[in-house]
Structure 1
Amino acid sequence: MCDTLVYFKNREHSYFAKNSDRDLQERQIIYLSQDPARELRNRPYELELEKYRQPFLRLKSIFCEYKHPYTAFISRPTWIWGAEMGVNQYGLAIGNEAIFSRERVPEDGLLGMDILRLALHNCQKAIEAVDFITRLIELHGQGGDGGFKSSLKYFNSFLVKDFTEAYIIETSAKKWAVRKVKSKAAISNKYSIENDYTSTNLKNTDINFRKEYENKIMSFFTKGAQRKDYVLAQLESQDLDLFSLIELLRSHNGQGTIKRGMKSVCMHPGLIIKSETTSSLIVDYLDDKFFIWFTGAPNPCVSLYKPFAFTLQNANQKYLQDLDTAIRFNHKWRVFSQKMIGNYNWFINNVKKERDEIEQEFILQIDKVIDNKNDKELSKLILELTNRAEEFRKVSVKTSPPGKIEDIMIG
């Protein structure tokens, strides 16, 4: 289960953010994809799951219909081609959510994550992505099984944003409804569009989209309503900045301790629910520029948000381009995250203060070069901050108490 939000602070400053909640121990890597066609041909995935065979064949059958000209910074599970979230070189950001309909989910439909990534590589603007996504769904359908270890069959909602506008898309089979965002919005694992859509392919435009298609039982168990309501309440109650947005993504819904289950924006596995926040991403839009902040690892409540920007000097950051290196990068930060979660009280007393200070330092240093518009200087700074983050990771892991770093259960 996941949570995605957009927030327009003013005409010049806005945010996109998502926490991706996936099966425990599913690996999700984050990197800069410049050749999606090569990735599809080589299929360099850690696992080839039978459940992905039919959706992958559907993806391959339509892939050559598009040129895929745009580079995208994506966060994706390693067993599929598609992405949970991402932003492309033009600042188009997209996140998707599983939503549960009363209609049957076909096994051979396109996965929502594949749809999302296709849009990132082929669209520049939010409205263009809306048209692209809804057309794909109408022509080719959606479906498949998006679960890693467990089965998870669903349709999709999408939150699509560029510099100036954002849209929510909600779907059921090949039907869709779109609502334009006014100033702030959040989506989770629950239908939210009722009669307030700005466009739809329904023949009867008097239909309440949520009431017509939502599986209320599944929506109840996902706790998407509670998480969405909490996020919206936070967006309404404060003048959000990057620091408070990070705290929101780390939130256990106002509680200082980690809780099991699906009610928290920062999700952790429980006795029954085996999901966790596997990756977290923020896009910070300022005037005509945007910067990315990402964990590249599970559990934002303990993880460090690291910076990235699209520049001509991105070749310096090898871990963001080579898939094997991206997998190793994820593993290192995953071990850090699991160590901190496994020794949570120790983290609070010995690591949290330094982590927060490092993030504040990173944000302030990035702010200083925003107006410079010097790609070389910006890329050099990001590389320096990346090295600083790596030093912090090494020391924190080395000095942490011994403990199990896999299948950690939070008490």
Structure 2
Amino acid sequence: MCDTLVLRSDGATWFAKNSDREPAEPQRLIRLPAVHGDRAATVRTTYLEIPQTAERHAVILSQPAWLWGAEMGVNERGVAIGNEAVFTRLTLREGEALLGMDLLRLALERASTAREALAVITELLERHGQGGPAGYRNKRMRYDNSYLIADPQEAWVLETAGRLWAAKKVERWAISNALTLGHDYDLASANLEDHACRLGCWNGRGDFHFARAFDGRVLPWIAGARQRRQLNQEFLAHCPAKVDWLALVVALRSHGHRGHRLSRHDNRQVCLHAGSFWRPSQTTASLIARLDGGSPRMAATGTSAPCLSMFQPLGFEPGAGAGLLSPEEAPVEESLWWRFETVHQRALADPGFADALRAGHGWLETELLAALDRRTLDWPRLAAEAQAWHDAWHQLAQQEALRPPRWWRLNAAR
């Protein structure tokens, strides 16, 4: 489960995403340099080996540690992409292909604009297909994908079903775990309607509607996909013309009308916390990007649960986001994500600790985010301040050994 939104405002494009995965599934932030003149003929993705390209952009990726691709990311040219699981009538139930997360990374490495990224994804999708086990522990989890793709000039929503797809240029849009495109789209697979008829997804009568033809029914309802999307749509509808970092942070931390009592949550929250059998996912990473023609600026948690975490500045400059990023080959146990799990799990077990944690990052987070609007940043100082905050809460979390609630532990062990 995930939630992604994009909006164009005041000459810039804002992108934000919560990545929802299994409890205790490590997700790290990595920065990969640009590559020029690579002679490798192929690249090994999570399951497939496909032709490689000699020229690739530098990228920052938020990546579940066990796979090759990424849940979300930004490249040095200012292209940002986030993907969502969608459970369509054409989802591949057997075999292996490109994961949606692999397609996301390939597009960021190869594309200089949002429109180019859309072309990279759709060309690879039609050639290689999508599919394969996409869960950390749950290898029965398989899905197709939708994407929000943005650059400083424009944004696109791209939705897929098997090897078929449709795309629409948008100004303000949100996606969750259900298809959103209907009659109105700007680009699509060749002969899309004929394929839909041949595959038994449309009877050929009336106006063709992409989501009605291909979307599943049960899993989007269980996941609360439309209700979570509605929360972000309401944010976008009421968002002022001039957006700032804190507005996007608040959107990603939304619990809707359920507040911070996790026992009352029901999959209808943007900031998701794992619960019963019907609520097996939680937010394991969050990312915000502002794309305005200069070097991309980002804010990320690098940790689980945005309502409990602190957003920190991130960028492509040397030394930027040093406390957030992990070397690609480093053990995940050395990542900020892994270290923060002690704090996160203590907060799940101790409501008083969780309330103090939520209240304890406001002043510093405001200062860190304000720095993103300056022309030059003192990256070492920003990293040191964030590190001191994390160290203090890690020490507090270790003072009392408390286990997370049983329902969380069951999901984490499933």
1:92: which partner in 2?
79
TM-superposed CA distance for 1:287, in Å, is 5.2
Query: How many angstroms apart in 1 are the aligned matches of 2:153 and 2:88?
Result: 31
- Give the one of 258, 271, 274 matched to 1:269: 274
User: Residues 92 and 278 (structure 1 numbering): CA distance in 2 closer, same or farther, change over 3 Å?
Assistant: same
Q: Structure 2: which amino acid aligns with 1:361? A: E
Query: How many angstroms apart in 1 are the aligned matches of 2:332 and 2:381?
Result: 18
- Give the one of 223, 235, 259 matched to 1:256: 259
Q: Structure 2: which amino acid aligns with 1:146? A: A
TM-superposed CA distance for 1:35, in Å, is 7.1
TM-superposed CA distance for 1:207, in Å, is 2.1
Of 117-126 and 252-261, the range deviating more from structure 2: 252-261
User: Residues 405 and 311 (structure 1 numbering): CA distance in 2 closer, same or farther, change over 3 Å?
Assistant: farther
2:98 is the alignment partner of 1:110: yes
2:193 is the alignment partner of 1:227: no
Do the aligned residues in 2 keep the contact of 1:258 with 1:268 (CA within 8 Å)? no
Do the aligned residues in 2 keep the contact of 1:319 with 1:326 (CA within 8 Å)? no
2:312: which partner in 1?
306
User: Residues 394 and 409 (structure 1 numbering): CA distance in 2 closer, same or farther, change over 3 Å?
Assistant: farther
What does residue range 362-381 of structure 1 map to in structure 2 within 5 Å? 362-367=368-373, 369-370=374-375, 372=376, 378=377, 381=378
Q: Structure 1: which amino acid aligns with 2:17? A: K
Query: How many angstroms apart in 1 are the aligned matches of 2:39 and 2:320?
Result: 19
TM-superposed CA distance for 1:104, in Å, is 4.3
2:286 is the alignment partner of 1:280: yes
What does residue range 23-172 of structure 1 map to in structure 2 within 5 Å? 23-34=22-33, 56-58=46-48, 60=49, 62-64=50-52, 66-105=53-92, 106-150=94-138, 151-172=140-161
TM-score for the superposition, normalised by structure 1: 0.86
User: Residues 63 and 278 (structure 1 numbering): CA distance in 2 closer, same or farther, change over 3 Å?
Assistant: farther
User: Residues 257 and 406 (structure 1 numbering): CA distance in 2 closer, same or farther, change over 3 Å?
Assistant: closer
2:250 is the alignment partner of 1:247: yes
1:321 is paired with a residue whose SS is coil
Q: Structure 2: which amino acid aligns with 1:310? A: F
Do the aligned residues in 2 keep the contact of 1:40 with 1:81 (CA within 8 Å)? no
TM-superposed CA distance for 1:157, in Å, is 0.5
User: Residues 281 and 258 (structure 1 numbering): CA distance in 2 closer, same or farther, change over 3 Å?
Assistant: farther
Aligned residues: 385
- Give the one of 139, 156, 169 matched to 1:180: 169
Of 18-27 and 212-221, the range deviating more from structure 2: 212-221
Query: How many angstroms apart in 1 are the aligned matches of 2:322 and 2:310?
Result: 21
Query: How many angstroms apart in 1 are the aligned matches of 2:3 and 2:280?
Result: 17
1:56 is paired with a residue whose SS is coil
User: Residues 204 and 322 (structure 1 numbering): CA distance in 2 closer, same or farther, change over 3 Å?
Assistant: closer
**Structure 2 unaligned blocks of 5 or more:** 194-206, 410-414
- Give the one of 332, 347, 351 matched to 1:340: 347
Q: Which protein has the bigger helix share? A: 1
Q: Structure 2: which amino acid aligns with 1:214? A: D
Query: How many angstroms apart in 2 are the aligned matches of 1:129 and 1:193?
Result: 19
Q: Structure 1: which amino acid aligns with 2:105? A: R
Query: How many angstroms apart in 2 are the aligned matches of 1:118 and 1:405?
Result: 39
* RMSD value, Cα: 2.7
Query: How many angstroms apart in 2 are the aligned matches of 1:185 and 1:40?
Result: 38
Do the aligned residues in 1 keep the contact of 2:323 with 2:387 (CA within 8 Å)? no
**Structure 1 unaligned blocks of 5 or more:** 44-54, 373-377
TM-superposed CA distance for 1:361, in Å, is 1.0
Do the aligned residues in 1 keep the contact of 2:33 with 2:59 (CA within 8 Å)? yes
2:296 is paired with a residue whose SS is strand
**Structure 1 residues 305-327: Cα deviation after superposition (integer angstroms, max 9, x where no partner):** 11111114559669443531664
TM-superposed CA distance for 1:334, in Å, is 2.4
**Structure 1 residues 53-109: Cα deviation after superposition (integer angstroms, max 9, x where no partner):** xx7342x1x142x23511110011111100000001111100000111112414222
1:375: which partner in 2?
none
Do the aligned residues in 1 keep the contact of 2:288 with 2:298 (CA within 8 Å)? yes
1:238: which partner in 2?
239
2:63 is paired with a residue whose SS is strand
TM-score for the superposition, normalised by structure 2: 0.86
Of 294-303 and 212-221, the range deviating more from structure 2: 212-221
Q: Structure 1: which amino acid aligns with 2:276? A: L
Q: Structure 2: which amino acid aligns with 1:56? A: T
2:360 is paired with a residue whose SS is helix
